Amino acid sequence: MPIYEYRCNECLEDFEALVTSNMVVKCPKCESDDIKKKFSLFATKGMEKQVSSGCSSCSSASCSTCK
C-alpha cells in the first residue's frame, strides 16, 4: 500500500495517507474530502553517490578503479 501526500483545499493542511484501492481520503484535521494529491519524490537507499561519465585522471568509466 502506497503512502501519498495530500493538501486539503479547505483548511490547507498537509498530510500523508496510506491508501488502499477504493479508499476515500479525507483531511484528518477538518474531515473534508476536497483534497489534492501533492507531487512527491521518493528516496532510495544507497543512491547518494553521483554517477560520473568518467574520471578526470583516467579513461575508466568507473571511478572505483582510479586512485
pLDDT tens-digit readout, 25-62? 999 999 999 999 998 766 556 555 555 555 566 665 66
CATH number at residue 10: 2.20.28
Question: pLDDT value at position 63?
Answer: 61
Range of the domain at 6: 1-40
Query: What is the mean predicted confidence (pLDDT) over 16-31?
Result: 93
Write the CA distances from 42 to 4, 8, 27, 59, integer angstroms: 10, 21, 22, 33
Considering the entire predicted model, what is its pTM?
A: 0.57
Question: pLDDT value at position 13?
Answer: 97
- Residue 7's pLDDT band, with cuts at 50, 70 and 90, is very high
Q: Please determine, for residue 14, whether its predicted confidence score (pLDDT) is greater than 80.
A: yes
Number of domains in the chain: 1
On whether residue 55 sits in a domain, the answer given is no
